[in-house]
Amino acid sequence: MIFRRLLLLLTLLPLLSAAQTDKLWLDFKTLEEPFVFSFSSKNATFEALKKELYWDIPNFYTAKKPEKASFLVVDNSQNSAISGDGFAINADEKNVKIEAKTSAGALYGVYEYLRLYSCGQKVIKDYVSNPAYQIRILNHWDNPDGSVERGYAGKSIWFDGEKVKFREDIETYARANASIGINATVIDNVNADPKILSTEMLQGVKTIAEKLRPYNIKVYLAVNFSSPAALGGLKTSDPLDKDVIDWWTKKCKEIYTLIPDFGGFLVKANSEGLPGPMDFGRTHADGANMLAKALKPYGGIVMWRAFVYNPQGGDRAKQAYDEFMPLDGKFDDNVIIQIKNGPIDFQPREPFSPLFGAMKNTQIMAELQITQEYLGYSDHLCFLSTMWKEFLDYPTFHNGKTVKETTLNQKLTAFSAVANTGTMKNWCGYVMAQSNWYAFGRLAWNPDLTSQQIANEWINLTLTTDKEAVKKIENIMLRSREAVVDYMTPLGLHHLMGWSDHWGPEPWCDIPGAREDWMPRYYHKAAADGLGFDRSSKGSNAVEQYQEPLKSMYDNPKLCPKEFVLWFHHLPWDYTFDNGNTLWDELLYHYTKGVKEVEDFQKIWAGLKGTVKEPVFNEVTEKLKVQLDEAQWWRDGCVQYFQTFSKMDIPFKPKYTLEECKAKLRTKAYVERQKD
C-alpha cells in the first residue's frame, strides 16, 4: 500500500510542478515536512480541506510518528480575534496550527496557509484574517440553453440544451472559489428565463448545490419577475396580488425543501424591457419586499439590481439615482440593493455611482464585472484589480466615507461580480483573464489588499516563481487597465464600442429608429463645437447627485479630474488644460500612449521566454499581438472619426483608414468571433 502511494506521488510530481492553467491558481507547492495531521471535525468541508493537504504523503513512510500532531486544524477555536468564517494561523517549518470557529473558516485557513507557503512564507505568527463581506458572490450570466451572455470562454458551465448539465470538473470551480473566499454563486442570467424555477430545473440546481456545499458555496438564482404568470399560469404577476404572493410562497417552500441552504434571489426588474413591479403601478420596494417575505422564513435574501434605464428621456446616468433615492429606507431587512460600480454600465472608467453613500437607510452592495464585456473580451490583458481599488477607495464625502465603507457599515454586507467562466479548458479563455477572477475573490475577502499584493500572489501561484519574471509580469499587469482606458476611452469618454456586441470602436454608430441611449453618439456628443457629455449644472445636472465637494469639483472643468472631464463636460476642441495641451492634443496623447503601452508589454513579455511554461508563453505572446492590433484599431477609428469634427491634424500615420476601421466590424473574423 505504501509503495503504491509512493509510486503515485513520484508519477504525479512533474504534473504538480507544472503551470496547470486549467487548474487555475490551485497548483500549491507540496509540503516538505512529514506532518502528522489532526482535525477537529468530520464533515464534508473537512474532507475537502483534507484533499488539499493530501500530497503530504511522506507521513505514510515516516519510520516513527510523533505522539503529538504537528499539523492541527480546528473549527472550535476560542480565539476572540476570529469572527465569522475567519481564521488564525501559527506556523513554523515543523508545526502548523490553523484555527477557526466554523468548518468554512478552517477550510479558508488551510487555503491561506497553502497560498502563503507556496509564495515562500513558511513561518507565520499570529496571523488572523476575517472576511470583510459576509456574502462574496459570483453572478453567472448563463442561459438554460447553454449560451453565456457576454461570455468569452465557451459555453455555460451549468446548462446545456435547457437542462442542468454542469462541467465535469466542477470541483475545480468550487476549490478555486473557496481558495479565495468566494462563498456564493448565482448560476443563471439576470435576464432570467422563468423556466429556471420549474421543478425539473430545480432538481438539477439541487445537484449543483450538493457539489458546491462542501466548499461552503451557496447557490442563488436570478428570477424573472413575471414567473407567476409565465410559469405558474396566473393572470398577473402584481406583487400585491394575493395569488401572486401565494405562488412565490409555495415556490420558496419547494426550493428550500430541495436545497435547505439556498441563498435567495437576484432580480433585474423594469430594466432593458424586463418585467417588474412598475408594470403594475408598484414600486421597486413593493416587488423586492414581496419576494423578501417569501424567503425570510428560510433565511434567504433578495439582491435587487439598481441597473435600470428606460426610454423616458433624460440622462441615462441619472436614472438609477432618480428611481431609487425616493425609496431609501423602504426595503425590508433581507433586501440588499445591488449597484453597478458606475452610473452607466461597466465602462473602462466611470465615476462611482452616486447611490453609494447617498442611500443611508438601505442596505447596498457593489456589482463589478469580471468578464471583459467592454474591455476587449478575453483577448486583452487588463488586470481589473486596479479599477476596483480605484472604485472602492474613492471618497463619497458622505460622512467622510469611501465607497468601500458605505457598503460595509450595515447589517447585511455583500460584494458581487459578473463571472468570466466557460467550458474552455482554461476556464476563462485566456490565462491572464484568470487573474481577475482571483482578484475579485481576494478583494471580497479583504478590500484593503493592494493590487500589487494580489498580482504578486497570482503570478507566483499560476505563472512562475522566478523573482525577476514575477516583477516584470506584475509591472505589466498593474499598468494594463490604464493602457486599455487610454486606447479605448480616455478623458472620461464612454460607450464608444460596437453598440450590439460591445467589441471594437464604433463612435460613428447612429442607427435610425434605435433607442438614443444605446447609441455611442448619444454619449460622446462629438460636433464642430467640441466633445463630451455635459452633465454639469448647465447641462443634465448629474453633478447634483454627488455630495460636496465632489459636486463643485465635477461641475468645473478646471477642477474636474482629467480622467472624468469628458464624462461631465462638453469642451471645445481647443480647450486648454493646465499642461498647455488643447483637448485635441490631449486626446491624441492618450490614444497614442495606450498603443505604446501595449507595444512595451510585448517587449517585456518577449524577454520572459524560458521563465514561464512554453504553452503559456506562446498563448500570451499571441494574445498581445491581437491586443496591439485592436489598440491601433481603437486609436485610429476614434481619432479619425473625431477629426471629421475637429478638423485638426493627426501627427502620425494611422495603421487603418477610417473606412477600414468601420469595415473591420463587419469582417468574417468578427462574425466568427461572436460565435465563440
Cα gap 555→168, rounded to integer Å: 53
| Of the candidates 571, 417, 377, the residue with the CA atom closest to the CA atom of residue 493 | 571
Fold type of domain 135-457: TIM Barrel (3.20.20)
pLDDT of residue 69: 84
Q: Which of 210, 243, 272, 599 is catalytic?
A: 272
Q: Which of 315, 373, 517, 586 is catalytic?
A: 373
pLDDT of residue 55: 56
Contact 114, 385 (CB under 8 A): no
Contact 498, 509 (CB under 8 A): yes
Residue 8 predicted with pLDDT over 60: no
Mean pLDDT of 426-439: 98
Fold type of domain 2-7+26-129: Chitobiase; domain 2 (3.30.379)
User: Model pTM?
Assistant: 0.95
**What cell was used for 88?**
488564525
User: Could you give the dihedral angle defined by the CA atoms of residues 148, 336, 296 and 260, in that order, rounded to the nearest 10 degrees?
Assistant: 40
Considering only residues 21 and 302, tell me which one the structure prediction assigns the higher pLDDT.
Answer: 302
Q: Per-residue pLDDT tens for 147-171?
A: 999 999 999 999 999 999 999 999 9
**What cell was used for 81?**
480575534
Q: Which residues pair with 223 in a beta bridge?
A: 267
Q: Which residues pair with 561 in a beta bridge?
A: none
Cα gap 96→91, rounded to integer Å: 4
DSSP code for 426: T
Coil, helix or strand for 576?
A: strand
Look up 373 and say whether it is catalytic. Answer: yes
Q: Which of 27, 160, 345, 544 is catalytic?
A: 345
Provide the percentage of residues in the chain whose pLDDT is more than 70. Answer: 93
pLDDT of residue 491: 98
Question: 598: part of which helix (H) or strand (E)?
Answer: helix 583-606
Q: Do domains 2-7+26-129 and 486-533+570-675 have the same CATH topology?
A: no
Residue 260 predicted with pLDDT over 90: yes
Residue 546 predicted with pLDDT over 80: yes
Look up 599 and say whether it is catalytic. Answer: no
Domain-by-domain residue ranges, the chain?
A: 2-7+26-129, 135-457, 486-533+570-675
- Confidence band (pLDDT; 50, 70, 90) for 500? confident
pLDDT of residue 65: 52
Strands 159-160 and 163-164: antiparallel
- Confidence band (pLDDT; 50, 70, 90) for 314? confident
Mean pLDDT of 391-396: 98
DSSP code for 516: G
Mean pLDDT of 2-10: 34
Q: Per-residue pLDDT tens for 620-672?
A: 999 999 999 999 999 999 999 999 999 999 999 999 999 999 999 877 455 55
Residue 17 predicted with pLDDT over 60: no
Residue 304 predicted with pLDDT over 50: yes
Q: Per-residue pLDDT tens for 20-71?
A: 578 999 999 988 888 889 999 999 999 999 999 975 444 443 444 556 889 9
pLDDT of residue 313: 64
Q: Per-residue pLDDT tens for 185-225?
A: 999 999 999 999 999 999 999 999 999 999 999 999 999 99
Q: Which residues pair with 88 in a beta bridge?
A: 99, 128
Residue 14 predicted with pLDDT over 70: no
pLDDT of residue 15: 32
Q: What is the mean pLDDT of the chain?
A: 93
What architecture is the 486-533+570-675 domain classified under in CATH? Alpha-Beta Complex (3.90)
Q: Per-residue pLDDT tens for 334-383?
A: 999 999 999 999 999 999 999 999 999 999 999 999 999 999 999 999 99
Note the maximum CA span of the chain: 85
